[in-house]
Amino acid sequence: MLTNVIAVAIENKRLVKKQIAREYEMQLAKEMQRKLIPDQLPLSNRFEVAMIYEPHFEVGGDFLDVVQVDETRFLFSVADIAGKGLAAAMLMANFEAAFRVLVERTHSNDEFIQALNHAVNRITRGDSYITFFVAQFNTEKNKLKYVNAGHVAPILILNANQPLEKRQIVRLDKRCPILGFFRQLPKVGVHEIFIPCQHQAFFGLNDTVAARSAIRTEANFFTVDGGHTWREYGFNR
């Protein structure tokens, strides 16, 4: 009888230690994740940009950023790594570092994506992958060039200043392979869209972002059909 009580006490102590370690790991992951989400966004007199981020249960593995490349070009990007927790947060921190370096060093979208894919493959050793969407908006030419590497399709809303029935939803879903599986991507598809004034684009991080959405009158974001936590950012022309 005493042996059983001791065994139960030892097991309970082990489980408590395991739970404490897990909570500590999740706290570290939350802190790392927080640092991957920008607290300031670039300002421009040509468009407005805003962001909402709400992690769903376990955190780690999400990335989004807005980078001003020069006076007329802005880079919008979102990414999601397979897996959650501290390991995913650490991998995404490495991804963010590679992303920042390559934004400054590469000159074409194709070169940028290939170099980023190589970095992800090296970081994960081919054991994991990252879905990634990046769009470069040129405020002079009103053009949006984008590459979608297996990410949930962002949404472009045409005629955003018109009544709901006159708006048109375009999904930016022309994709290339996800990042990390191949040492070199077989093909990178760079697509270009002309964006006149009064249009909106939304970049979501998960698959609950649906085309059926209700635009809030004074905001750049929209409600999402689906029953899951969602997170995104968008810009308004």
Helix axes 85-105, 109-124, angle to 10 degrees: 150
Mean residue pLDDT across the chain: 72
Edge-to-edge strand order for the sheet containing 200-204?
A: 48-52, 232-236, 200-204, 155-158, 168-171
Read off the pLDDT of each residue in 93-109 and give the average, rounded to a whole number.
85
DSSP letter string over 102-122?
A: HHHH--SHHHHHHHHHHHHHH
Amino acid letter, 82: A
Three-class secondary structure of residue 161 per DSSP:
coil
Band of the pLDDT at 221, cuts 50, 70, 90?
A: very low
The per-residue pLDDT for range 103-122, each reduced to its tens digit, is 888 778 888 999 999 999 98
Strands 232-236 and 48-52: antiparallel
- Buried/exposed 48-72: b ≥16 CB within 10 Å, e otherwise: ebebebebeeebbbbbbbbbeeeee
The CATH code belonging to domain 2-236 is: 3.60.40.10
Helices within the chain (DSSP H only)? 2-36, 85-105, 109-124
- Most confident region among 11-15, 115-119, 153-157, 205-209 by mean pLDDT: 115-119
User: What is the separation, in whole angstroms, between the first and last Cα of the chain?
Assistant: 74
Beta-carbon neighbour count of residue 103 at 10 Å? 16
Strands 200-204 and 232-236: antiparallel
For the chain, the structural domain boundaries read: 2-236
- Most confident region among 47-51, 70-74, 123-127, 192-196 by mean pLDDT: 70-74
pLDDT value for 211: 34
CA nearest to 92, candidates 25, 135, 132, 36:
36
The per-residue pLDDT for range 148-174, each reduced to its tens digit, is 998 888 887 777 677 777 777 788 888
Read off the pLDDT of each residue in 206-214 and give the average, rounded to a whole number.
38
pLDDT value for 203: 60
pLDDT value for 204: 55
pLDDT value for 8: 63
Give this prediction's pTM: 0.73
* The pair of three-digit structure tokens given for residue 45, joined into one six-digit string: 């007199």
